Amino acid sequence: MKKLIICLVIAGLLFTACGSLSGENIWTERRPVEEGPDLTGLALTPGVFTGRATGFHGEVIAVVTIDETGTIAGIEVEAPGETADFYQPAFAQMVPAMLSAQSASVDTYTGATFSSAALIEAVQQALIESGGGSAAAPAVEDEPAPPVEGEIFVGAAEGYYGEITVAVTVNAGQIAAIEVTDHSETPGIANPAFAQLIEAVLAAQSTDVDAVTNATGSSRGFIAAVESALAQFVPDAVFYVGVAEGYNGDITLGVQVEDGQILAIAVIEHSETPGIANPAFAQLTEAVLAAQSAGVDTITDATYTSQAFITAVRSALALAGVVGEIFVGVGSDGYGGDITVSVTVDEGAILAVSVTEHSETPGVANPAFAQLVEAVLAAQSADVDTVTDATYTSRAFIAAVQDALAQAG
């Protein structure tokens, strides 16, 4: 009887010890926690850095954010192969400890030794990457990069978590620059991948590049967005230029028209907020090309920018002779005589104004005409101020525009 009881007790102990075979708390040899590199004196560069290490079942990825003061501001962890019941309590305790200590040198968590050690190693790797692998060095302030010349095409495509929007600059038929203007991907994974992909596309002058390992969905979205932008570029194309006042200044567009069809729209220059404007430009471009018309809706939260984009497209289309009706007006009593203008109007919008005949002094009148045309297009009205030192010329020009608009009804 005593032998039977002893056997049952031993069997119970063995069952308890082996009760959780899917996690880390089992009878097996533990991987020792290696002492990490000495990071004392390491100057941490602001940015987002990623470290990786092998846990119990798979990879542990640590995304570490360093703020402008060189402080560890945040740590995000992904461990898709680990057992959540074990690593989540461990990481929930270790991450705050790391942020408090401003170091990866914290204790491992009992019952999740492998995952704990992997987290420490991954964070150490990210910190070393931030510090460039060396001790503190004098900070060198980078010179701001000069703007890249060329035509900007905006493209968008679906990434892993949402839409990725890019602005691609093309100059003399070459891809001159690529900027990711909006995305919802995980920054610590996507941003390094975007940097690598931009370098690859610029080097290859093509989107025929490999996806980045561990960022396949983001890579595919980025490549598709660049392809969408480049699809709008046509070598040796003729673009009609339209300009309109946006939220922060003029928006200049180039619109390619052939046989009455709108083939492409390029943003040539603007001063809008990129994070707001570029996604709006992408949506508006897609809408105009699909509708083959500038009669599209504005974008929520980018109303002024949208209205200027649409007005600039209308102006370019008017120059191309695609839309609008032309009305001719005459203003008398200019400084040198009558001034004749042609005004293109479409659906009540003034798309273009040009002076077709005058006898004014060119050196005085032509700059005044340019200023007045811009004012009329911006105001969508002839109710604009005269130009200093060209009062008579201005009055006759305004009268001519009023005459044309009266005919347009």
CATH (domain of 195): 3.90.1010.20
Q: Is 189:50 a contact under the CB 8 Å cutoff?
A: yes
pLDDT value of residue 23: 42
> Does any domain span residue 37?
no
Domain limit, last residue, from 101, 130, 159: 130
* Four-residue CA torsion sign, 85, 87, 93, 99: negative
Domain limit, last residue, from 97, 130, 163: 130
Q: Could you give the count of Cα atoms lying within 13 Å of 67 in the half-sphere of its Cβ?
A: 8
Q: Is 350:344 a contact under the CB 8 Å cutoff?
A: yes
Backbone angles phi, psi at 339, to 5 degrees: -125, 130
> Does any domain span residue 189?
yes
The pLDDT > 70 percentage for the chain reads 84
pLDDT value of residue 246: 87
What residue ranges in 39-173 does DSSP mark as E strands?
47-54, 59-66, 72-78, 151-158, 163-171
Q: Which pLDDT band, with edges at 50, 70 and 90, does 284 fall under?
A: very high
Residue 400 has pLDDT above 90, yes or no: yes
Same domain? 310 vs 334: no
Q: Average per-residue pLDDT in the chain?
A: 79
Q: Strand pairing partners for 330?
A: 340
The residue-averaged pLDDT of 373-399 equals 91
Residue 7 has pLDDT above 70, yes or no: no
Domain limit, last residue, from 130, 161, 183: 130
Chain segment 168-210, per-residue pLDDT in tens: 888 877 888 898 888 888 777 888 889 899 999 999 899 999 9
Q: How many domains does the chain have?
A: 4
Residue 339 has pLDDT above 50, yes or no: yes
pLDDT value of residue 39: 56
Both tokens of residue 100?
């408090």
- Quote the CA–CA distance of 279 and 276 in Å, as a whole number: 6
The residue-averaged pLDDT of 334-360 equals 87
Backbone angles phi, psi at 101, to 5 degrees: -80, -15
Residue 135 has pLDDT above 50, yes or no: no
Residue 18 has pLDDT above 70, yes or no: no
Q: What share of the chain is helix, strand, coil (3-state, %, to 5)?
A: 40, 25, 35
Scan for tokens 């931030």, then name that residue.
Answer: 130
Residue 386 has pLDDT above 60, yes or no: yes
Residue 16 has pLDDT above 50, yes or no: no
Q: Compare 258 and 304 and report the one with higher pLDDT.
A: 304
> Does any domain span residue 140?
no
Same domain? 47 vs 122: yes
Residue 37 has pLDDT above 60, yes or no: no
Range of the structural domain that residue 403 is part of: 325-408
What residue ranges in 183-288 does DSSP mark as E strands?
239-245, 250-258, 261-269
